[in-house]
Structure 1
């Protein structure tokens, strides 16, 4: 039997065999196609962009003056696809704030937009018109046509917002914020590691004390024994809390729980309070254009997460021995 070059030990071979049986996890659980995100009924192709927008709002809402509950409202308003006389204030303000950050980064004079005015729509159209590579996907006839032109943007309103969000991410202002957040995350991670070490040591010390009391037929005072057991339980709770803090501080930016072929499994920071497992299935022909998103039952999620807990052993060994 010829082993792959990265199979160095029997354990490597063990994980390789396990992975062969567990790899086709999607074939076991089809999941349900997502079409409703945070109360917004969407086309399948718009689910990914909707999640992307929500994650952006969750990470940078403070800069763009977006409060709790407003990202959901933005998505719902866009999904309704109504012909409006005035663009909803919340959506208009979000566009204005994004444009202001982008303009500031480019050294341009910020425009002062009046309430219920459509000057920001002219700026939006002019800015997008500069991005020639987007012209095939966006209906650029809305340029300089105010609210009437904005209505003609359907079904591209969500994609226009994400375009502005992507542009804002490359500005100095947001890059600095990301660096600061990453620094704070590293501090939290180090603090959590220290707490975890201390909690483990305390639990071990208490268990050793209980074990010594019970050695050689010793009969510890019942009150002392109960107190030790109670202290051990408390120490264990502290340890579990430290473990959770360590996990929360591991990464700031979203990363997949697991990657398999054309599939990525996510527990996103903002969406569903990091409780719902989502599967992103990539389109082979257009890697980002026609992705399909799935959600699972609670039992299916547990099975998939167990699989994810095993698979990284194989992936890590491949990369570490390359």
Structure 2
């Protein structure tokens, strides 16, 4: 909480101690509340901060650690939590499980440092900020104890009104102290990056079983592509829920009827725009293979590894194809269907719906943020009332109950905000009918996916290797992570993005 008391304005360069009524106090006067540099000290009614051990009438975050039947009673003021540990008192106080720095074993106050057999740090708030750290705790974690000891012995005590130039020069010990600090800051960032990049690529298992059907590694990619096509366009093409699995089982067992019927439906959709007569699965002038032949001739895509003149042999030529070729052909027809007016219209409709949902989600997040901000401000105002006002309009118990109610509402608002953010599409995410987004892609051809047609609660790894001599030769393998590896994979993705 920002400490601002408009009635108390000490002169520049002077330390004026006054009581709450504005009367000057001597330094030796220890009785009653007094103000020093816009801060009110109250030895009788104020509560002490564990870090600075000053009794002031300001908000303090209380530790929630229950301990072993003996709860922690320590409190930390806003200034100490922010400068020494990089935390906001009002925010952590809303958490039901927040533990203070002492309970976490990272407290750097003079008493705790001595108890751990270490030297007190002294004033390091300005020093840590000058070196690019967010808090004293972060600087202590990054710097070795030997370096810190040398730094402390070389530095002179910093005055309260030391200028920024003097501070920088004093820290570096050289005239060009600013450049030295910039170098330290760059090195610090580099060290952080190197530490994060040490997270190894999570191990995974080869993916060969989909819908309880066993496939070869070379076929897995085509199987997943077909399943995603059916999932996304099931309404537009009236695809039944169990139909994709039944088609794959038929392919696996060598039964062609279901597969040919599905392909014929797509080819009729493609051919309908040419106003031709519907094609059937039988041989003849209007055979589905005739349309397929026209598509392959017009398409830039060359169906590799297919037997020569297999189309000329009619249905028997198709039946003699192996499963890999049949899967490639199936996806080729699905891709051609995407260019039809029916599916393009469906894509446009779904994209409009997606845009409206995205807009609604943004509005919901904005409203949740405003609600949380309003409650936080209300909490700050209520906490500050006993300090800036002498009127006791509420009893202590009533005031405590009011604060507890606002805290509860603020916690609910926070949960509401997190839930609203969860409905927000990812950055630059578009409608699925236009493109399915990868979760992550590295520079070595490894892509992480979450596919709803397989299981959107697990990560899939696609490893693509291209032949340097012949770019048309691509080796693709798919792997799957166990559900319990979800957090591990997310951690790896976060470290690589940073």
Shorter-chain TM-score: which interval? 0.7 to 0.9
Specify the alignment match of 1:247 in structure 2.
425
Query: Which one of 205, 208, 222 corresponds to residue 35 of structure 1?
Result: 208
Answering whether residue 305 of structure 2 is matched by residue 137 of structure 1, we say yes
Give the Å deviation of 1:254: 1.4
Residue by residue over 1:153-212, the C-alpha shift from the partner in whole angstroms, topping out at 9 and shown as x without a partner, is 212111101111121223343333323322322221121111101001112222333344
With over 3 angstroms needed to count, the CA separation of the structure-2 counterparts of 1:232 and 1:121, relative to structure 1, is same
Matches within 5 A, 1:1-322: 18-20=192-194, 22-23=196-197, 28-78=201-251, 80-82=252-254, 84=255, 87-89=256-258, 91-105=259-273, 107-111=274-278, 113=280, 117=282, 120-123=287-290, 125-127=292-294, 129-130=296-297, 131=299, 134-139=302-307, 141-143=309-311, 145=313, 147-155=315-323, 156-215=325-384, 216=386, 218-220=396-398, 224=402, 227-247=405-425, 250-252=429-431, 253-285=435-467, 286=471, 289-313=474-498
Name the SS for the 1:274 alignment partner. coil
Deviation at 1:50, TM superposition (A): 1.0
Secondary structure at 1:242 match in 2 = helix
Residue 278 of structure 2 aligns to a residue whose secondary structure is: coil
**Could you tell me whether the CA contact under 8 Å between 2:446 and 2:462 is conserved in 1?**
yes
CA 1:259/1:158 → structure 2, altered by over 3 Å: closer, same or farther? same
Q: Tell me, which stretches of 5 or more residues in structure 1 are unaligned?
A: 1-7, 314-322
Deviation readout 1:230-262 (Å, 9 max, x if unpaired): 433432332122111113694322122111122
User: C-alpha separation between the residues in 1 aligned to 2:490 and 2:203?
Assistant: 15
Q: Paired residue for 1:4?
A: none
Quickly say closer, same or farther: Cα 1:12–1:229, change in 2 above 3 A: same
What SS does the aligned partner of 1:283 have? strand
In structure 2, the residue matched to 1:318 is none
Q: What do residues 93-131 of structure 1 show as CA deviations (whole Å, max 9, x unaligned)?
A: 3212211222234x2414153xx7566543355235525
Highest relative contact order (Cα 8 Å, sep 6+), 1 or 2?
Answer: 1
- CA change 1:21–1:261 in 2 (3 A) is farther
Alpha-carbon RMSD across the aligned residues, in angstroms, is 3.4
Give the number of the structure whose residues are more often helix, by fraction: 1
147-156 vs 40-49, which deviates more? 147-156
Q: SS of 1:193's equivalent?
A: helix
CA contact under 8 A between 2:282 and 2:315: conserved in structure 1?
Answer: no
In 2, the alpha carbon distance for the partners of 1:259 and 1:132 equals: 27
- CA separation of 1:244 and 1:261: change in aligned 2, threshold 3 A: same
SS in 2 for 1:272: coil
Q: Which secondary structure state, in structure 1, belongs to the residue aligned with residue 248 of structure 2?
A: helix
| Number of positions where the alignment pairs a residue of Structure 1 with one of Structure 2 | 297
Structure 2 CA distance, aligned partners of 1:169 and 1:98?
A: 10
Alpha-carbon contact 2:449-2:461 (below 8 Å) kept? no
> Unaligned regions of 5+ residues in structure 2, if any?
1-181, 388-395
Alignment TM-score, normalising by the size of structure 1: 0.77
Query: Please, what TM-score do these two structures have when normalized by structure 2?
Result: 0.52
Structure 2 distance, partners of 1:181, 1:132, is 28
Contact 1:101-1:168 within 8 A present in 2 as well: yes
The question of whether the paired residues in 2 share the 8 Å contact of 1:35 and 1:41 is answered with yes
